[in-house]
């Protein structure tokens, strides 16, 4: 799968809920996980590969090895607590990183690959990754989470690079 690079218009689109979880969908998800890992990423949302569906994959940070991946289908953030600052990057804006504020703890309801609802309560880095990928589903890239001065400087740099 090819990862869409800024300023590809698909990155700014709202995604639609996934209505069918079948073998074809699961194959796409597995290919997304492979694409994310091959790119040394920690998360990848559907629009980043040109699919306007509300789902994303990411590494599972619950173990040190980070060998497992999580799949969140039609995620909804239901609770938000605290504030944390972390340096973020994005596979769709390669080579650029900046500090962004996120919620430290969130609660997310989503479907798994069997269509079963799961509730996640991530903290720290897992919470940040969930929020970053969740933003992609609403056409939001991480520079939108920066303060206005930092965002202006950052956008000038990436617009120069990705003309």
Active site residues: 133
Listing from the earlier edge strand, what are the strands of the sheet with 117-120?
43-45, 55-59, 69-81, 105-111, 117-120
From start to end of 4-90, where are the E strands?
43-45, 55-59, 69-81, 84-90
> How far, in Å, CA of 56 to CA of 60, rounded?
12
Contact 104, 83 (CB under 8 A): yes
């Amino acid at each position: 799968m090819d990862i869409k690079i800024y300023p590809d218009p698909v990155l700014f689109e709202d995604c639609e809920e996934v209505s069918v979880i079948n073998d074809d969908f699961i194959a796409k998800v597995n290919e997304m996980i492979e694409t994310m890992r091959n790119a040394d990423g920690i998360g990848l949302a559907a629009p980043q590969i040109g699919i306007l569906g509300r789902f994303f994959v990411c590494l599972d940070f619950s173990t040190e090895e980070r060998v497992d991946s999580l799949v969140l289908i039609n995620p909804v953030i239901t609770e938000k607590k605290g504030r944390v600052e972390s340096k973020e990057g994005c596979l769709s804006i390669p080579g650029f990183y900046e500090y962004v504020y996120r919620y430290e703890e969130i609660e997310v309801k989503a479907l798994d690959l069997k269509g079963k609802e799961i509730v996640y309560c991530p903290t720290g880095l897992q919470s940040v990754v969930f929020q970053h990928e969740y933003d992609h589903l609403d056409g939001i890239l991480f520079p939108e989470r920066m303060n206005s001065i930092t965002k202006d400087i950052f956008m000038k740099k990436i617009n120069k690079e990705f003309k």
